[in-house]
Amino acid sequence: MKITVLDGYTLNPGDLDWGAMAAFGDLTVYDRTPADKTVERAIGSEIVITNKTVLDADAISRLPELKYIGVLATGYNIVDVDAAASRGIVVTNIPSYSTMSVAQMAISLLLAIVQRVEHYADENRKGRWSRSEDFCYTDFPLMELAGKRFGVVGFGHTGQATAKVASALGMKVGVFSSKPQTELPAGYDKMDMDTLFKESDVVSLHCPLTDTTRHLVDSRRIETMKPSAILINTGRGPLIDEQAVADALREGRIYAAGMDVLGTEPPAADNPLLTAPRCFITPHIAWATKEARVRLMDIAVGNVAAFLSGKPQNVVG
Q: How high is the mean pLDDT of the chain?
A: 97
Instruction: Return the closest-CA partner of residue 167 out of 233, 116, 107, 101.
Output: 107
Termini Cα distance of the chain: 24
Domain 2-97+290-308, CATH among 3.40.50.360, 3.10.20.30, 3.40.50.720, 3.40.50.1980: 3.40.50.720
CB 197 within 8 A of CB 219: no
% of the chain with per-residue pLDDT over 90: 99
Catalytic residue among 236, 242, 293, 295: 236
- For the segment 11-36, what is each residue's pLDDT rounded down to a tens digit? 999 999 999 999 999 999 999 999 99
Helix pair 99-115, 290-308: axis angle to 10 deg: 160
Catalytic residue among 223, 251, 265, 291: 265
Helix and strand counts by DSSP (H, E) for the chain: 11, 12
- For the segment 247-285, what is each residue's pLDDT rounded down to a tens digit? 999 999 999 999 999 999 999 999 999 999 999 999 999
Whole-prediction pTM: 0.94
Domains of the chain, residue spans = 2-97+290-308, 99-281
Catalytic residue among 157, 206, 221, 284: 284
- Could you confirm whether 284 is annotated as catalytic? yes
- Could you confirm whether 128 is annotated as catalytic? no
- Could you confirm whether 215 is annotated as catalytic? no
Domain 99-281, CATH among 3.20.20.70, 3.40.50.2300, 3.40.50.720, 3.40.718.10: 3.40.50.720
Q: How many CB atoms lie within 10 A of CB 211?
A: 5
Give the pLDDT confidence score for residue 312 in this predicted structure: 98
Residue 317 — very low, low, confident or very high, per pLDDT cuts 50/70/90? confident
- The CA distance from 286 to 108, in Å, is 10
Q: How many CB atoms lie within 10 A of CB 6?
A: 24
